[in-house]
Amino acid sequence: MKLSDRVNDVPPSGIRRFFELAEEMDDIISLGVGEPDFSAPWSARDAAIASLERGETSYTANRGKRELREAIARDQRRRYGLDYDPDEEVLVTAGASEALDLAFRALVDPGDTVAVAQPSYISYVPGVVFAGGDPLRVPTRAEDDFKLTREVLEEAGAEDAEALVYCYPNNPTGATMTGEELKEVAAFCREHDLLVFADEIYSELSYEHDHTSIATLPGMRERTVVFNGFSKAYAMTGLRLGYAMGPAEAITGMNRIHQYTMLSAPTTAQHAALDALENCDDEVDDMVEQYDRRRKFVLSRFADMGIECFEAKGAFYAFPECPWDDADEFAEAFLHEERVAMVPGDVFGEGGEGHLRVSYATSLGELKEAMARLESFVA
């Protein structure tokens, strides 16, 4: 059976190879998974259970439960002063990944160029390819703390692109961008008429400054689709719930595809998400505080070992330089010899070479043990 050229053009996930190696071993400490080690807040879980007990297991509206869309709109207004119409400009999806896929397919024509800020989440380039677009890799630089700048956009030729996709706080680097730093990116997009796909799934996990949504900057709301969800801040990865916000025509187009594919996001998860938005700010604050403690610990241990690592300020990843020349070789040897899983940075695209992605979304006890094993291994 012949696979399509689009599928053949996309290699298997580089992350999955390390997950599969780790699954074959016992007593693994995983610093490779981008998944919170917390459970979803208790009241959100209780809301999900209660909805099942009431027998609420039917489809919802294609765009998602209206109460949830209204809550999402209120949350954006409260946090960023952004006004989105819950009926026309908000779409609830099966995870933020589905929302991104819908946006690529709805807004990218075959042959369109989409600039992808890298290192990046591994699904962006394949998503563009599956939509028939041509990804243009825009490598950010360690000397800039992996921030997206006008200079790297110009060096990559992004002025000829139709769209830009980026994620800040960033997976895999942990980099963040302030509102001032985003202004030059916004100006570049306005000058060259680029659509923007802004993945803000880690927006709550910004430790040293408040998160700024690019949609709040002048002239950007009308050209930006923002993606977020409940997997990271609310530790609801397995419930698979995300959302997109943007101009009505973009959301309507995305929903047209969503109607024929997913139909509607999981009903039970929507009940949990509604409760999370309304009642769980304190739990989120507590998780963020614990992540910050872990971040500071991991960064301090890299410094103790003499391993170069810029000061990651968001998400739950550090992105140190690899002690060996070959990060892939190092990660595999470290996994086999010390039973600690990390991910080589090159799987996240250009700019990630020679680095390791280290997730600190695990307990402080396991992080201490993993860092002790790393110190022994590099010595």
**Ranges of each domain in the chain:** 5-40+282-378, 42-280
**End-to-end Cα separation, the chain, in angstroms:** 50
Q: How far apart are CA 357 and CA 16, in angstroms?
A: 14
Residue 52 backbone dihedrals phi, psi, to 5 degrees: -65, -40
- Distance in angstroms (rounded) separating the CA atoms of residues 93 and 192: 30
What's the confidence (pLDDT) of residue 143?
96
| Cα–Cα–Cα angle for 72, 77, 79, rounded to 5 degrees | 95
Calculate the alpha carbon distances from 332 to 17, 101, 121, 289 in Å. 10, 31, 21, 32
**What does the DSSP 8-state code read for residue 248?**
H
d(CA 364, CA 106): 42
Of 123, 145, 116, the closest CA to residue 319 belongs to: 145
Predicted local confidence at residue 34, as pLDDT: 84
Assign domain 42-280 to a CATH class: alpha beta
pLDDT of residue 3: 86
Q: What is the pLDDT of residue 21?
A: 66
- Residue 83 has phi, psi (to 5 degrees) of -110, 115
Distance between CA atoms of 286 and 362, rounded to whole angstroms? 15
Main-chain phi, psi angles of 14, to 5 degrees: -70, -30
SS (H, E, C) 129-148: HHCCCEEEEEECCHHHCCCC
Q: What is the pLDDT along the chain (379 residues), one digit of tens a residue?
A: 888 888 888 777 766 666 666 667 778 999 988 889 999 999 999 999 999 999 999 999 999 999 999 999 999 999 999 999 999 999 999 999 999 999 999 999 999 999 999 999 999 999 999 999 999 999 999 999 999 999 999 999 999 999 999 999 999 999 999 999 999 999 999 999 999 999 999 999 999 999 999 999 999 999 999 999 999 999 999 999 999 999 999 999 999 999 999 999 999 999 999 999 999 999 999 999 999 999 999 999 999 999 999 999 999 999 999 999 999 999 999 999 999 999 999 999 999 999 999 999 999 999 999 999 999 999 9
DSSP element (H, E) containing 291 = helix 281-305
Global pTM reads 0.96
The answer to whether 312 touches 319, Cβ cutoff 8 Å, is yes
Whole-angstrom distance, CA of residue 295 vs CA of residue 311? 9
DSSP bridge partners of 115: 136, 164
- Secondary structure class of 228 (helix, strand, coil): strand
Inter-CA distances, 299 with 191, 214, 272, 313, 358, Å:
38, 28, 34, 10, 10
pLDDT at residue 17, rounded to an integer: 67
Residue environment code for 154-189, b if the CB has 16+ CB neighbours within 10 A, otherwise e: eebebeebbbbbbbbbbbbbbbbbbeebbbebbebb
Q: Cα separation of 131 and 197, whole Å?
A: 14
| Neighbouring C-alpha atoms within 13 Å toward the C-beta of 50 | 11
CATH class of 5-40+282-378: alpha beta
Burial 235-257 (b: 16+ CB within 10 A, else e): bbbebbbbbbbbbeebbebbbeb
What is the structure's pLDDT at 22?
65
